Amino acid sequence: MIMPTANGGIAQQTADSHDAEKNIFSGEQHGDDNGRDGERRAGDGQRRGNNDPRHNKQSRQNNQPRRDKRDVHGWVILDKPIGMTSTHAVAVLKRLFQAKRAGHAGTLDPLASGGLPIALGEATKTVPFVMDGRKRYRFTVAWGEERDTDDTEGRVTQTSELRPSAEAIRALLPRFTGLIEQIPPQYSAIKVQGERAYDLARDGETVELRPRPVEIHELTLVEHGDNGQSVFEAECGKGTYVRALARDIGRILGCFGHICALRRTLVGPFRETDMIPLEELEALCNRAASGEGSLADALLPVETALDDIPALAVTRADAARLHRGQAVLLRGRDAPNSSGTVYVTVAGRLLALAEIGNGELIPKRVFNLTGLTASPGRSNERV
């Protein structure tokens, strides 16, 4: 993490943050990183329900007291259990925190477990920085069958009696490391003429998806047993489909394969040690309701998502101008001579995302952190 210097100077910007800044200021939202959009069944049902008058009538008949929403700002890194969709996970956390706003930074399939970063309140403004970061997965490939979804939920399409050796697998891995071309799975969230690929595949259509460049920073074989399964670890960039790795490796080896277990252990700046199981969050919520704890203990600060971005400390007078959306002239001996994206702090508190250019500091996203925020100790835990 790059901390503000005493004189407000800016450290050298990294390449990762340069890629991220193109998205935060354009307002673009990116899709799923690693697999089929697990929300497709729940999403379809929710759309039907919201348009159905019976749905609204049923809601009105619910006599339970309505809980007031509140301002909650920060990140919760849920250790998502197997079987839960990412959309459902966001809904559960939004209810636990009674938060007004929530969203996740990259879909994780129902089949998968592990890190699902959920942004609450003003943290939603930093989601693109997390989505553009690296991801690490630990996954198990079952050899001998290829399935139409490239995981255990799909229909078997090809089989083989062959089983690969560890040596043959390791010899192949360099072909899947670095910048490669990858064809997304048929069951993916890619849009084809306005339709999701998984919707077309579910209707029996075969879609020709174009190869896309993805970057695999590391791919290793960590376990290989006699049970017809192999365990891998992969660290990759945005847009990589882990299920496609299993499919393509199996095809080249001639034995076919599909994912039978998947866990995400790293998402951008968020590590496995940051993850909180749902049961622990629910227990914390119950203790907080009885006055024995605080949900702030589960939050990571909003700026945790900005670890790879330079920080700039400003005076209170400059902070007031930035808060009103006005640019600030950068003058004097300590004025930074670089350009690009920074996150701005005042008295150690996050104020804005801004761009430096032509001797000015121009605010692009201003944060209003009034409400429930992370406990002070959560920042120190990660140093």
The set of residues, in sequence order, having a beta carbon less than 8 Å from that of 357 and lying 6+ positions away, is 339
Given the residues 33, 109, 307, 308, the one annotated as active site:
109
| Contact between 17 and 303 (Cβ < 8 Å) | no
Query: In the annotation, is 334 catalytic?
Result: no
126 C-beta neighbours (distance < 10 Å), count: 27
Q: Which of 288, 324, 350 is nearest to 123 (CA)?
A: 350
* Helix spans in 163-266 (H): 166-172, 197-202, 242-253
- Distance, first Cα to last Cα, the chain: 8
Dihedral angle sign, alpha carbons of residues 115, 121, 122, 124: positive
Backbone φ/ψ region at 359: left (φ over 0), alpha (ψ -120 to 50), beta: left
Instruction: For residue 287, count other CB atoms closer than 10 A to its CB.
Output: 14
Bridge partners, residue 264, by sequence: 114, 137
Give the 3-state secondary structure of residue 349.
Answer: strand
**H or E, element range at 363:** strand 360-366
* Dist CA 101 CA 73 (whole Å): 9
Residues labelled as active-site residues: 109
